[in-house]
Structure 1
Amino acid sequence: MIKLIINADDFGYSRAVNYGILDAHKLGILTSATLMTNMPGAEHAAKLAKENPSLGVGVHLVLTCGKPLLKDHKTIVNEKGDFKKVNFYKDDFQVDLEEVYKEWKAQIERFLSLGLVPTHLDSHHHINSFGNLYEVFLKLAKEYNLPVRNNIKKQVYDISKDFKCTNFFAGELNKEMVNIIYIEKNFKAYESVEIMCHPGYLDNFLLNSSSFTHLRLVELEMLIDKKVNEDIKSSENIKLVSYREL
Structure 2
Amino acid sequence: MNKLIINADDFGYCKGVNYGIIEAHTDGVLTSTTMMANMPGFDHAVELHRQHHNLSIGVHLNLTTGSPVLEHLKTIVDTEGNFRSQAYYKGSFIIDQQEVYDEWKAQIEKILAVGIQPTHLDAHHHANLFGEFNEIYFKLAAEYNLPVRNNFNNQDPTRRTTDGFVYTMESVLQSEGSLNQLFATHDTVEFMCHPAFLDKFLLASSSYTYPRTEELDLLTRPATKDLFRNQSLFELTTYKQI
Q: Distance in 2 between matches of 1:127 and 1:34?
A: 14
| Aligned position for 1:93 | 93
The reply to whether residue 165 of structure 1 matches residue 147 of structure 2 is: no
Percent identity of equivalent pairs: 46
* TM value normalised by structure 1: 0.95
Deviations, residues 179-212 of structure 1 (Å, cap 9, x unaligned)? 3321112222211000100000011111110011
| Aligned position for 2:48 | 48
Instruction: Give the drift of 1:46.
Output: 1.6
Unmatched tracts of structure 2, length 5 or more:
none
Q: Distance in 2 between matches of 1:60 and 1:73?
A: 20
Q: Distance in 2 between matches of 1:178 and 1:136?
A: 36
Moved over 6 A (4+): none
| Aligned position for 2:132 | 132
**Contact 2:173-2:224 at 8 Å conserved across structures:** no
| Aligned position for 1:216 | 212
Instruction: Give the drift of 1:175.
Output: 5.2
| Aligned position for 1:187 | 183
Deviations, residues 40-61 of structure 1 (Å, cap 9, x unaligned)? 1111112212221211100000
Secondary structure, counterpart of 2:173 in structure 1: helix
Secondary structure, counterpart of 1:174 in structure 2: helix
* TM value normalised by structure 2: 0.97
Amino acid at match of 1:9: D
| Aligned position for 2:147 | 147
Q: Distance in 2 between matches of 1:162 and 1:125?
A: 25
**Contact 1:233-1:239 at 8 Å conserved across structures:** no
Q: Distance in 1 between matches of 2:234 and 2:164?
A: 14
| Aligned position for 1:75 | 75
Deviations, residues 106-162 of structure 1 (Å, cap 9, x unaligned)? 0000000111010000000000012100111111100000000001124xxx3x422
Amino acid at match of 1:50: R
Amino acid at match of 1:212: Y
**Contact 1:171-1:195 at 8 Å conserved across structures:** yes
Aligned pair count? 242
The counterpart of 1:201, out of the listed 197, 204, 207, is: 197
| Aligned position for 2:226 | 230
In structure 2, the CA distance between the partners of 1:226 and 1:175, relative to structure 1 (3 Å rule), is farther
Secondary structure, counterpart of 1:60 in structure 2: strand
Of 16-25 and 86-95, more deviation after overlay is shown by: 86-95
